[in-house]
């Protein structure tokens, strides 16, 4: 694919502009096919517990899929792309963030920083997967290398990680957060407390946890996996500030994750992540249409579901080679290598 420096900026702006608009009918339809099924499944799961927990677990898996789809609504609201009304985006963003255990305002601010610095080696750390360069890993202390290895282990990244992120990390303030982000967590925590109390008084705390924990784990694992493969794939893009380019980071640093039709629907077309990073103002339901509208976007190589599984072997960024590598690339360091 040609470098962005060879592409006229007016060309890609003209390609995305027609899709940078929300459709009230499409937005309401997506709410009806995401949040509503999730809530109906939540009504069914306590009833299924009276029969067997083995009946509840398949329902929890299905609910997790609709929770991922509901999160995409929250995500679009955070970008101001789901509705034309700022108030509607804030209200729906809060409510859909609440069922995903996510403080919508604070998260969207962090996510905006991710978009601003995606693919920039000098701006890592804002809402992205912890990524060290080979040189940084070799220079790190033994404790830091051990922590990094544990963080990058699939059982931690995709198992313990989702529970920590959604159940603990978003419950507390962090240094450097602004007032709006902190209040976002306060209101989300209060909302979650009300939901937990209501569940305890109706179906019981034990039943609530038996349902909610697997749903959050499954949906969180899917969400972190999507975020991982959207930027940690073969041929991805990382540059220092002086060489960083906005269009390159979108078309080369964000994957075109081609999923089976059902998974694409449940994930709100977020596999067209190159389009999303090019213009976060394009609602998720127009991402595919935008991609198919221009040869510029269709030149982006797709990442298949099968090929994406190999992305787990990537651990470090090799600045000299300009690619992601495994820990074997750091074997010059005897300890932990």
Tell me the pLDDT tens digit for each residue of 81-93.
999 999 999 999 9
* pLDDT one digit per residue (tens) for the chain, 337 residues: 444 455 777 888 999 999 999 999 999 999 999 999 999 999 999 999 999 999 999 999 999 999 999 999 999 999 999 999 999 999 999 999 999 999 999 999 999 999 999 999 999 988 889 999 999 999 999 999 999 999 999 999 999 999 999 999 999 988 888 999 999 999 999 999 999 999 999 999 999 999 999 999 999 999 999 999 999 999 999 999 999 999 999 999 999 999 999 999 999 999 999 999 999 999 999 999 999 999 889 889 999 999 999 999 999 999 999 999 999 988 754 444 4
Nearest partner of 48 among 215, 216, 297, judged by Cα: 215
Q: In whole angstroms, give the CA distance from residue 16 to residue 30.
A: 21
Q: In whole angstroms, give the CA distance from residue 289 to residue 299.
A: 15
φ and ψ of 42, to 5 deg: -70, -30
Cα Rg of the chain, angstroms: 21
- What's the pLDDT at 127? 80
Answer whether 298's CB lies under 8 Å from 270's CB.
Answer: no
- Return the domain boundaries, the chain: 4-133+155-313
333: left (phi over 0), alpha (psi -120 to 50) or beta: beta
Tokens 């602004």, residue?
Answer: 178
Nearest partner of 267 among 280, 275, 258, judged by Cα: 258
The pTM of the full predicted model, rounded to 2 decimals, is: 0.93
- What's the pLDDT at 330? 85
Q: In whole angstroms, give the CA distance from residue 27 to residue 29.
A: 5
Q: In whole angstroms, give the CA distance from residue 27 to residue 254.
A: 24
Q: In whole angstroms, give the CA distance from residue 129 to residue 311.
A: 13
Give kind and range of the element (H or E) at residue 299.
Answer: none
Buried b (16+ CB within 10 A) or exposed e, 97-108: bbbbbbbbbbbb
- What's the pLDDT at 336? 45
| Structure tokens that stand for 198 in this block | 């209501």
């Amino acid at each position: 694919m040609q470098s962005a420096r060879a592409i006229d900026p007016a060309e890609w702006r003209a390609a995305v502009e027609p899709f940078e608009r929300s459709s009230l009918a499409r937005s309401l339809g997506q709410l009806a096919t995401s949040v509503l099924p999730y809530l109906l499944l939540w009504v069914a799961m306590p009833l299924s517990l009276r029969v067997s927990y083995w009946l509840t677990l398949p329902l929890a898996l299905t609910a997790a899929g609709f929770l991922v789809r509901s999160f995409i609504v929250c995500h679009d609201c955070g970008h101001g792309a789901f509705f034309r009304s700022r108030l509607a985006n804030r209200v729906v963003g809060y409510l859909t963030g609440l069922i995903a255990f996510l403080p919508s305002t604070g998260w969207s601010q962090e996510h905006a920083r991710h978009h601003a610095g995606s693919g920039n080696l000098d701006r890592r750390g804002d809402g992205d997967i912890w990524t060290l360069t080979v040189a940084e890993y070799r220079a790190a202390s033994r404790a830091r290398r051990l922590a990094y290895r544990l963080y990058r282990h699939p059982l931690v990244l995709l198992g313990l990680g989702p529970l920590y992120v959604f159940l603990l990390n978003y419950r507390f303030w962090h240094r450097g957060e602004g007032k709006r982000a902190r209040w976002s967590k306060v209101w989300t925590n209060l909302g979650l407390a009300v939901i937990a109390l209501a569940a305890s008084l109706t179906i019981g705390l034990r039943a609530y946890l038996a349902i909610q924990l697997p749903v959050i784990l499954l949906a969180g694992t899917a969400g972190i996996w999507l975020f991982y493969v959207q930027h940690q794939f073969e041929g991805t893009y990382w540059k220092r500030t002086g060489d960083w380019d906005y269009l390159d980071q979108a078309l080369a640093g964000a994957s075109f994750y081609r999923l089976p039709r059902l998974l694409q629907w449940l994930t709100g077309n977020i596999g067209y992540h190159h389009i999303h990073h090019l213009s976060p103002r394009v609602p998720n339901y127009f991402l595919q249409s935008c991609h198919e509208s221009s040869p510029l976007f269709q030149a982006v190589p797709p990442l298949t579901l099968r090929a994406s599984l190999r992305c787990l072997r990537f651990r470090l960024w090799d600045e000299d080679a300009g690619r992601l590598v495994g820990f074997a690339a750091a074997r010059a360091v005897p300890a932990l290598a």
